[in-house]
Structure 1
Amino acid sequence: MDKMGEAQLRSALRQKTKQELLDIWVGNKRHEWPDGAFDVIKEELAAKGIKPPAQKNLEESMLKGRDYRKDVGQPFFAVSQKKLALMAFFTWGFYEIYWFYRNWKFLKEKHDFKVSPLARGIFGPLFCYSLFKIVRDYSDQHQAGADMKAGALAACYILMIVTYKLPSPFDLISSFSFIPLLTVQRVINNLGQRLSPQAQVDGRFNGWNIFGIVIGSFLWVLVILGIIFPETGK
């Protein structure tokens, strides 16, 4: 931590009450704070005349409900960001259903989640925050250093989807709802590199993928023609 960062941290900590500082110290959630932050917190406690109490075990402090640290090989659905973007765009969001399905399927098979992956895939927006939060917690527990705001990404994803109710052509914004998923996918792929370096990220386009892109491209042509020549449909 540089001197400016340390000064800003000290200033922020001095605004906190003794109890708030103690809660931070005892909680020991070091993954939520910059390097060296707990040294500063210890000094601030001492300056307030408080002897720092025992802290929670570092590993325990990182667990948030479930323990995702067992070895399961490649975590989640490992697909390249490029493939995810292209498939989601050209299949008009149907690939997003598949994406959610595959990730929930992994959690059910490897971590005993009592869920229906198909239902979670079909109703992806309803459960997107839950999935994003799990990916973030997974990364935290493996100390992969992901800086992912699950709530903000989920809100962005849902808002982009509901734009389909806007008048044409603004309703097409919903076709880019996959953009928040790219951040989640980056975290997933980084996790895969860390936990299973030999695993391959799926960036290939098989026959079904190409078929979906061709059909989707045809639909996009029709939509664009309808926007350019609106009278032709009357």
Structure 2
Amino acid sequence: MSTNYNNNESVYNAPAADLGDLEQHDLIDKNAFFVVSRTKLIILSFCTLNLYLIYWFYRNWKLQKDNADFDCTPIVRAIFNIFFTHSLFAQVNDALQSKGFACRASGLMATFYVITIVVSALTNRWEPSVDQLALYVVFFLATIALILLPIWYVQDRINQVCDDPQGAQNAALTLTNWIFILLGLIYWGFVFMGIFISFIG
């Protein structure tokens, strides 16, 4: 009795595994979130009064829909982001867990974001007197920073999931970015000019 073996195979070799699904899973993880350097995130958020965050949410949800098979309407989730912040952070958590990272995109940070957005919306009704103008601006700047804090926090986790911890692939400022930065600086210039005039007046 004889046994024929394929010349390209050996009985001592481990069976070849089909890595197609694994490779596809890694590809989805790497492209399921929006990568940006945290410095660029801070600059654009500050200069646009955090309007950049709407774009940030949109890009994340669009990538979730396109590359992670997450059924959603990105533009709706971006505009009404406070209702979907916990869901996005949970998606980041799942990706972190699947890659074995110990850090997490904390649900507390998502809650903090929602609370600061609500507080900011309520305080927008404050109509400061001339004497209160400086205090109002300080409070306004603090609100912008507090809103941005949890996004800055989760962006670090997103960049790690996408194998780009520094966000190098999206660190440079584009022409469009500079246009919005210029508009933002003009706005801030008018704000501080108004404060200065109120003091000398």
Q: TM-score w.r.t. structure 2 length?
A: 0.72
Which of 174, 186, 192 is the matching residue for 2:156?
A: 186
Q: Which of residues 121, 146, 171 is equivalent to 2:140?
A: 171
Alignment-derived partner of residue 71 in structure 1: 27
For 2:149 and 2:196, the matched residues in 1 are separated by 26
Which residue does 2:116 correspond to in 1?
Answer: 160
Match of 1:4?
none
Mark the CA change 1:160 to 1:138 in structure 2 (over 3 Å): closer, same or farther. same
Distance 1:75 1:129 in 2: 16
Q: Which residue of 2 aligns with 1:216?
A: 184
CA distance in structure 2 between the aligned counterparts of 1:206 and 1:122, rounded to whole angstroms: 23
Alignment equivalent of 1:103, drawn from 52, 60, 63? 60
* Range with greater deviation from structure 2 (220-229 or 95-104): 220-229
Aligned-pair distance for 1:205? 0.3
Q: Which residue of 2 aligns with 1:32?
A: none
Count of residue pairs the alignment pairs up: 162
Q: Deviations over 1:31-68 (max 9, x none)?
A: xxxxxxxxxxxxxxxxxxxxxxxxxxxxxxxxxxxxx9
Q: Any conservation in 1 of the 2:49–2:144 contact (CA below 8 Å)? A: yes
Decide whether the 8 Å contact of 2:54 with 2:78 is kept in 1.
yes
**Residue in 2 aligned with 1:137?**
94
2:162 alignment partner, SS class? helix
2:173 to 197, 205, 212: 205
Q: Find the partner of 1:226 among 184, 191, 194.
A: 194
Is the contact made by 1:97 and 1:122 (CA closer than 8 Å) also made in structure 2?
yes
Q: Please, which moves more after superposition, 132-141 or 97-106?
A: 132-141
Regions of 4+ moved over 4 Å: none
Give, in angstroms, the shift of residue 92 of structure 1: 1.1
Query: How many angstroms apart in 2 are the aligned matches of 1:218 and 1:77?
Result: 28
Structure 1 residue 112: deviation in Å? Answer: 1.8
**CA-atom RMSD, angstroms?**
2.5
Unaligned runs of 5+ in 2: 1-23, 127-135
Cα displacement string for residues 138-161 of structure 1 (whole angstroms, at most 9, x for unaligned residues): 1111212223312x1112112222
CA drift of 1:69 comes to 4.0
Partners of 1:69 and 1:145 in 2: how far apart?
19
Q: Displacement, 1:225?
A: 2.5
Change (3 A) 1:77 1:156: same
Provide the identity percentage: 31
Select which of 52, 74, 92 maps to 1:117: 74
Q: Deviations over 1:158-200 (max 9, x none)?
A: 222233333423234332211210111000111111xx79x95
What is the deviation of 1:71? 2.7
Larger Rg: 2
Task: Give the drift of 1:228.
Answer: 3.7
In structure 1, what is the equivalent of residue 103 of structure 2?
146
Report Cα offsets for 1:3-49 as digits up to 9, x if no partner: xxxxxxxxxxxxxxxxxxxxxxxxxxxxxxxxxxxxxxxxxxxxxxx
The question of whether the paired residues in 2 share the 8 Å contact of 1:156 and 1:180 is answered with: yes
What SS class does the counterpart of residue 86 from structure 1 fall into?
helix
How many Å apart are 1:113 and its aligned residue?
1.7
8 Å CA contact 1:75, 1:191 repeated in 2: no
CA offset digits 1:78-122 (Å, max 9, x no partner): 100000111011011111000000000011001222211111111
